[in-house]
Amino acid sequence: MSASEYKHILRIAGKDIEGGKKLIVALSEVKGVGYNFAQVITQSLNINPDKRVGFLTDGELREIEQAIANPANARIPEWYLNRRKNMDTGSTQHMITSDLDFAASNDVEREKLVMSWRGYRHMFGLRVRGQRTRTTGRKGGAVGVKKVSLKPGAAAPGAPGAAAPAGAAAPAAAGAKPAAGAAPAAGAAKPAAAPAGGAKPAAPAKEPAKK
């Protein structure tokens, strides 16, 4: 094929593919078509898997798309297909692109509806196929840790320069006398009451002199 017939970009099964890639690599880029399935398609159609996609003829492209849509017509074994014995129809088919995603989501919703064990695992976002969960799949946040969200410009509690909480009295300066008529602060010791009858208060006992 001449360079004038070379296609830089072509479309296979709804996927835009660069013409410089090998056929087996280009087919495996289609969702639902893996490397092994692409190799089986090229062998059944007798097409060189190392051929560049840009050099494929229109007839070869048509045969490849038909083989992907109906693998049974291309003599591909059923055990290569990804949708065997469909629960709704009982047929065996091969799904690609958005049809594969839609079928998988329907299967998950059916498992949740019948309340199966797999459905429970899907609902809580846990591993379904028996993987370990001790060291993997730990996507959730830590339990029992409280995160404090600060507003922009606000100082963290306990930091220097942080405002005192409401209702708390400011500490008195060292040596300052309280103002006249001011009520004593909460928790301050009250002065001892004078003895009745005008008696003089007893002198405090002297401590014995230390030798």
Per-domain residue ranges of the chain: 3-80, 96-133
From the options 3.30.70.1170, 3.40.109.10, 1.10.8.50, 2.30.110.10, give the CATH code of 3-80. Answer: 1.10.8.50
Residues whose CB is less than 8 angstroms from the CB of residue 196 and which lie 6 or more positions away in sequence, other chains included: none
What 3-state DSSP class applies to 50? coil
Q: What is the pLDDT of residue 166?
A: 56
Given a contact cutoff of 8 angstroms between Cβ atoms, the answer to whether 67 and 76 are in contact is yes
Q: What is the pLDDT of residue 205?
A: 64
pLDDT tens-place values along the chain, 211 residues long: 555 588 889 899 888 999 999 999 999 999 999 999 999 999 999 999 999 999 999 999 999 999 999 998 888 988 999 999 888 888 888 999 999 999 999 999 999 999 999 999 999 989 999 999 888 887 765 566 677 777 777 666 665 655 555 555 555 555 555 555 555 555 555 555 555 555 566 666 666 666 5
Beta strands 15-18; 9-12: pairing state: antiparallel
Residue identified by tokens 């560049």 is 52
